[in-house]
Amino acid sequence: LPDGVNISKEARSAISRAASVFVLYATSCANNFAMKGKRKTLNAGDVLSAMEEMEFQRFVAPLKESLEVYRREQRGKKEARKDKDKKTDSEEQDKSREEENEDEDERMEEEEQNDEEEVDN
Amino acid sequence: AARLSGGENRLVSLPLSRIRVIMKSSPEVSSINQDALFLTAKATELFVQYLATYSYKHGRGKEKNALTYSDLSHTAEECETFQFLTDILPKKILASKYLKMLEKEKQDGEVGEGDEDEEEEDE
Q: What is the ipTM score, two decimals?
A: 0.71
Domain presence at residue B4: no
Question: Is residue B33 a contact partner of residue A115, using CB atoms and an 8 Å limit?
Answer: yes
pTM of the model: 0.68
| Cβ-based contacts of A106 with chain B (< 8 Å) | none
pLDDT the model gives residue A25? 94
Q: Which domain holds residue A76?
A: 69-120
Could you report the per-residue pLDDT of A68-110, keeping only the tens digit for each? 999 998 888 877 765 555 555 555 444 444 444 444 444 444 4
Our count of domains for chain B comes to 1
Q: Does some domain include residue A60?
A: no
For residue A30, the model assigns a pLDDT of 94
Taking the C-alpha atoms of residue B47 and residue B54, their distance in angstroms, rounded to an integer, is: 10
Residues A46 and A13 in one domain: yes
Domain-embedded: residue A64? no
Query: Is A62 part of a structural domain of the chain?
Result: no
Is A111 among the domain residues? yes
- Residue B61 sits in a domain whose CATH number is 1.10.20.10
Strand ranges inside B4-112, DSSP E:
31-32, 66-67
Query: Is the pLDDT reported for residue B74 higher than 70?
Result: yes
Q: What three-state secondary structure class fits B66?
A: strand
Q: Is the pLDDT of residue B45 over 80?
A: yes
Query: Is position B2 within any domain?
Result: no
> Residue B81 and residue A35: Cβ atoms within 8 Å?
no
If asked whether residues A51 and A10 sit together in one domain, one would say yes
More confident site: B17 or A108: B17
Question: How confident is the model over A41-69, as pLDDT tens digits?
Answer: 999 999 999 999 999 999 999 999 999 99
B75 touches chain A (CB under 8 A): no
**Pair (A50, A76) in one structural domain:** no
